[in-house]
Amino acid sequence: MQSKVVLFDLENNPPKAQLFREVLEHYSTIYLFNCAGTFDYALEDLTEMASWITSGQIIILETPKISHKEFEYAMVVGQLLALLDSSTHIEIISASASAEMLLLMLQESDISSHLIQVESTTSGKVAAKFKIPEIEKIIQSTDLQRVKLYCDALSKMSGKPNTIEKLKNSVANVLQLKDSDVQNIVGMLINLKIVKKYDAQIEFRKKVLKQWQQLDLNQTTPDIHNETLSIHHRLNIQMQNLDENDVIEEHVTVVDKNFAQIDPIQIEVAKKLRSLKSEKPKDIYALRDLLEKMFPESDVRLLLKELLEKGYIYWNGHEILYSHEMFLN
């Protein structure tokens, strides 16, 4: 029989004793780690925690602070390779946005594993994650308008998709898009926190979805509303006949008047990646290495995190999908 253990990521996910009690009823061991090196725990529960550590039911992994997240995860994976039998299955419980990177590294090391993505329990960070774009930005972006249309359509559906494949089919049917555009919208639904992904399974975040459905795009001023709708009406027609690079050029033209508001590094990233055309990296590590060469003075780890959080790129665990949003923000 395959043994199962839990790998518990403490980042943005401080545990309570009751949670550990429930997990230990079903799993022999919990491995704890936190890349920040510390976590808060109720004082009255420390005696019970000490007994679990002494008995070996809870094992704390070493996670020295390193400049890149993947190197921190590599330390965790290395320790698990030394501690576990090859037949052991790991259930990862994490609230970190980068947890899929850890899952991929475990799987590439031939460790059977599964990710359970949970909500961050840090209230300030939750609020930041669920912040939706401003109305003007949505109106100025064809893809964000598509996200809004799909959210509206979900309110009329009797049942919602519960897997990635069903979500892709649903997006394609509702918005009448080709495959490459469908992938882009699915990535945006995940990065905008409308959809929560557990491997191939998905779940809609009700509060975030409701925010999108209640959003009134007519709240902006008439001049801006009419101008941007006219622009994107032309974009929708042109996108049917243009290749990816032509679409990007049109998007850059649309936001040219607001260029001063765009992060200069993001402008350079967009220009350099656009120049690569079909040679853009598909692997997250290859993209990291490329950005380190292009921007040696920048913190590439934070840049990658920002690109992922803003929906400019989407990492599905296998390859990078590039969003037209990279050229709109």
Average pLDDT over residues 16-42: 82
Does residue 253 register a pLDDT over 80?
A: no
- Asked if the domains 130-217 and 254-327 are classified in one and the same CATH topology, the answer is yes
The fold adopted by the segment(s) 4-123 is Rossmann fold (3.40.50)
* Alpha-carbon gap, residue 126 to 235, rounded angstroms: 34
Q: Sign (positive/negative) of CA torsion 117, 123, 125, 129?
A: positive
Q: Answer yes or no: is pLDDT of 30 > 90.
A: yes
Token pair belonging to 235: 């974009």
**pLDDT reading at 224 higher than 50:** no
Please tell me the distance from the alpha carbon of residue 134 to that of residue 219, in angstroms, as a whole number.
Answer: 11
Q: Domain 254-327 belongs to what topology?
A: Arc Repressor Mutant, subunit A (1.10.10)
pLDDT in tens, 73-109: 888 898 999 898 888 999 999 888 788 888 988 988 8
Residue 188: name the closest of 242, 136, 147, 247 by CA: 147
Residue with tokens 């209640």, as numbered in its chain: 214
The domain locations on the chain are 4-123, 130-217, 254-327
**Which whole number is the average pLDDT over 121-131?**
51
Higher pLDDT, 313 or 127: 313
Q: Which residue has the higher pLDDT, 269 or 55?
A: 55
Q: Decide: 318 and 261 in contact? Cβ < 8 Å.
A: no
Contact 204, 194 (CB under 8 A): yes
Angle at which helix 222-239 crosses helix 142-154, to 10 degrees, equals: 90
Q: Helical H runs in the chain? A: 17-24, 46-55, 69-83, 99-108, 123-129, 135-139, 142-154, 164-175, 179-191, 206-214, 222-239, 244-254, 264-276, 284-294, 300-309
Task: Give the C-alpha separation, 121 to 126, whole Å.
Answer: 7
pLDDT tens digit sequence for 262-294: 456 666 777 777 777 778 888 777 888 888 888
Residue 239 has pLDDT above 80, yes or no: no
Architecture per CATH, 130-217: Orthogonal Bundle (1.10)
Statement: residue 149 has pLDDT above 80: yes
